[in-house]
Amino acid sequence: MPHRARRYLIAIAALAAAVLFRWLLDPVIGDSLPMVTVFGAVAAAVWVGGAVPAAVVAILGYLACYYLFMTPRYAFVFDLPNMVGLAAYLFTSSLIIAIGEAMRRAQARARERSDLLRITLASIGDAVITTDNAGHVTYLNAVAESLTGWKQEDAKGQPLDTVFRVLDEQTRKPIESPATRALREGTVVSLANHTLLLGRDGGERPVDDSAAPIREEGGRMSGCVLIFRDVSERRGLEKAVAARFLEARLLASIVESSDDAIVRKSLDSVIQSWNAGAERVFGYTAEEAVGRHISIIIPPERLAEEDHIIATLKQGRRVEPFETERVRKDGRRIHVSVTISPIKDEAGNVVAASKIARDVTKQRQAEAEREMFATLIENSTDFIAIADLDAVPIFVNRAGLKLVGLDDMDAARKVHVRDFFFPEDQARILDEFFPSVAAKGHGEVDVRFRNFKTGDARWMAYKVLKLSDDKGQVLGFATVSQDITERRRLEDGLRQLAANLSEEGRRKNEFLATLAHELRNPLAALSNMLEILRRTGPRQPAPPPQAVDGMGRQLSQLVRLVDDLLDLSRITHNRLELRKGPVALGAVIDQAVESARPLVESMRHELRVVPSPEPIALEGDSARLAQVFGNLLNNSAKYTSPGGKIEVKTERHGKEAVVTVKDNGAGIPPHRLDSIFEMFNQVQGSLERSQGGLGIGLTLVRRLVQMHGGSVQAESAGEGKGSEFVVRLPIHEPRPAASPAPAPARQPSAGRRILVVDDNHDSAESLAMLLNITGNQTFTAHDGADALDAAAKQRPDVVLLDIGLPTLNGYEVCRRIREEPWGKEMVLIALTGWGQDEDRRRSHEAGFDGHLVKPVNYPALIALLDSLGVAK
């Protein structure tokens, strides 16, 4: 049924009930108060249905009651009293209707308000709890239900502290809810800080809460309302904001305290911010720099860089770190490493650029210095290395690696410092030297380094230094060592040389003494024999032939001594020369035997010569080979007591000729068998035992044999047990040659005209005498000028010319004679004490035909003259 109809229905029902009720009262009240019940119906109608139904009820009720209960009953009389009564009735009814309507409206309004409040409370985001004056919960909205975990029906009537339990966030102690205080103090309480709500399920959440007393219209307090909200999200937000704030502050302080220059610039290159680092690096203060163009720090020639930078930034790209040059306020150029990044707004547009510049000038310098040192070390010829505390090399320079035969640092890192030394040196270095370096900080020792590849040794001046950091912590050991192998070799050589020199000096002194001694012997004999000759005369018997023979022997002894001396000089100057040709060994031995024979016979030795069954041919210098065997035979004769036995035997062993000279004489101690071949080395080494030699014979023998490609060896069973010298020489098979053409027969020579020139008068006269005796005509001269005169005047066939002459020397005289027409064919022979090959060469160059050494060997002179075709 529609609401309105219902309202009218209820109004009519109330009217009917009022009429009925009057009718029932009628017996009691009669005609009085005919309308009395209608007022109730009007009041009910207005309350339930409002003013219009109530007015309907009032009118209908009047009409019904007037008709039914007013006298006259069942009729309508419109007289004055009735009109007044009607007016009073209408007034009263209107009043009732007006009051009723007003009340009805008030109630509707109150209901509406209450609904609004309820809906508001239910729909707001905050939680709301209301209590009565005793603090018991009277209402909970849905948010409060969800935050506290209490349902409205459970919570109602519960003490507020049971439903709304709060803790202090920090102390976690229960705290009083603001509602309690609001109730107690009747004031608004808001506590927004650090409160944790403990839910019914034990969950916790941070809340903001506040409370206010509820006052009725009269101001009486009827309870309190508690409003709170979950602030977890806000707290999170707050934390995030705080964190960002902190981060921003941190960044700002980093920027400020950074050593790097951090600069913000706009896209048109105007400086916008300038940190303390930038002030330090570039020298401008922030006030000076901000607002100015970035080109104040860019060198003019690098301005193009900035265009490139800006272009890159505008594309939103970072400019990768690069090194460049910038200029300070004071004009000084600095090296900087620069990184530039775009700064974007929230929409992602590039709005500015941040530039970080680091001053790397010092690093650059340090790098350059480091580079310099590295180059120095790498190119040093010293061995430079560093080893760590485990004695493993961590650096070895190029020279070092080469010296010890390591290919590279990888190879070096695999070895231990110990392995650089030879096993026999390791203990000395590792157990003594290194500990002393560790204690003193440095040390130096000469030691050999081992080459890992070849195993060779190099002597090193090994200098080691302890490397420590600032705090004295030992980091390792370094070495800068020099290769002193060569120096040591030179030192050893010098030492050896000094020793040799003093030994040689000693031997030379001994030699001079020996020489004097050896010269005296033949001189003494000669002087005796000369005396004998002097005493011969018409009345004196002729000198005994032994005396003359003895003179010859002594003379040849003297000559041999002088020859030995010359050979000595040739050996020491390495100027021995061979005049090689085909040699018959047998003839050489015979010649040697002949030269030794005088001594052998004077000592009454028995000499046995055992030749080889067939002749042996050699290639060599026959005179020198004869000298070799002559020396050996002479030695055997000298060092064997008179009446001894000497044997010289020639054999052929394959391609070698072996000549053995053996005696049963003094013998040689085994330890001297080698040293006797050294110069001035004589077994006894004392003058008393010297047997007429200078100690160079065997040296000469060995050298000559070696020059012939052979060897010589001494053997002896010991002192007093005889000696044996074995000479081996390579055999030279002669090529079968056509038999030599017979030499042209020399014309028998007639008497010669000979000019003898010598500043030594005795020498000149005696030779002239000798030549006269042998049928020649002689002249003499004693200086160069005289010689030239005599040659020009006498025109001799031959000039025997001494070289060392006063006024003009022999070479000069020779040259001048050769310049003369008559001198071209003259036979000029140098007669001199100088017999070296060099002297022979010079005399040949000066124009001499021959060169003889004094004292002249007469047969040799005659042979030479013959060979030159000078007729006798």
Residues that bind ligand ADP (CB under 6 A): 631, 635-636, 639, 663, 665-668, 676, 681-684, 693-699, 723
Nearer to ligand ADP, 681 or 857 (CB): 681
Query: Which amino acid would we find at residue 840?
Result: R
Nearer to ligand ADP, 522 or 810 (CB): 522
Whole-number Å distance between alpha carbons of 364 and 534: 106
Q: What angle do CA 434, 438, 444 make, to 5 degrees?
A: 55
Q: Which residue is nearest to ligand ADP (CB)?
A: 693
Considering the complex, what minimum distance in angstroms separates the CB of residue 626 from ligand ADP? 16
Considering the complex, what minimum distance in angstroms separates the CB of residue 631 from ligand ADP? 6
Considering the complex, what minimum distance in angstroms separates the CB of residue 518 from ligand ADP? 8
Nearer to ligand ADP, 231 or 648 (CB): 648
Whole-number Å distance between alpha carbons of 862 and 323: 101
Q: In what order do the strands lie in the sheet with 165-168?
A: 137-140, 127-132, 221-230, 204-215, 189-198, 165-168, 174-175
Considering the complex, what minimum distance in angstroms separates the CB of residue 693 from ligand ADP? 2
Residue 595 Cα distances to 379, 615, 822, angstroms: 69, 21, 42
Considering the complex, what minimum distance in angstroms separates the CB of residue 634 from ligand ADP? 8
Instruction: Give the pair of three-digit tokens for residue 264.
Output: 């913000």
Nearer to ligand ADP, 195 or 650 (CB): 650
Whole-number Å distance between alpha carbons of 682 and 507: 10
Considering the complex, what minimum distance in angstroms separates the CB of residue 795 from ligand ADP? 47
Considering the complex, what minimum distance in angstroms separates the CB of residue 564 from ligand ADP? 8
Nearer to ligand ADP, 665 or 847 (CB): 665
Considering the complex, what minimum distance in angstroms separates the CB of residue 711 from ligand ADP? 16
Nearer to ligand ADP, 284 or 680 (CB): 680
Considering the complex, what minimum distance in angstroms separates the CB of residue 823 from ligand ADP? 45
Query: Which amino acid would we find at residue 320?
Result: E
Nearer to ligand ADP, 54 or 666 (CB): 666
β-partners of residue 342 are 353
Give every CB contact of residue 836 below 8 A, 6+ residues apart in sequence.
566, 569, 570, 575
- Helices 545-572 and 697-707 pack at an angle, to 10 degrees, of 60
Considering the complex, what minimum distance in angstroms separates the CB of residue 586 from ligand ADP? 22
Instruction: Give the pair of three-digit tokens for residue 564.
Output: 């030995």
Q: Pseudo-torsion of CA 563, 565, 569, 570, nearest 10°?
A: 20
Q: What is the DSSP string of 307-335?
A: HHHHHHHHTT--EEEEEEEEE-TTS-EEE
Instruction: Give the pair of three-digit tokens for residue 851.
Output: 């060169």
Considering the complex, what minimum distance in angstroms separates the CB of residue 593 from ligand ADP? 15
Helix, coil or strand: residue 756 = strand
Nearer to ligand ADP, 208 or 518 (CB): 518
Whole-number Å distance between alpha carbons of 731 and 612: 13
| Chain centroid to CA 419 | 19
Q: Which residue has the tokens 């003499």?
A: 780
Q: What is the DSSP string of 56-122?
A: HHHHHHHHHHHHHHSSSTTS----HHHHHHHHHHHHHHHHHHHHHHHHHHHHHHHHHHHHHHHHHHH
Q: Which residue has the tokens 């010319």?
A: 801
Nearer to ligand ADP, 182 or 668 (CB): 668
Nearer to ligand ADP, 44 or 676 (CB): 676
Nearer to ligand ADP, 97 or 704 (CB): 704
Burial class (CB in 10 A: 0-12, 13-18, 19+), 117: exposed
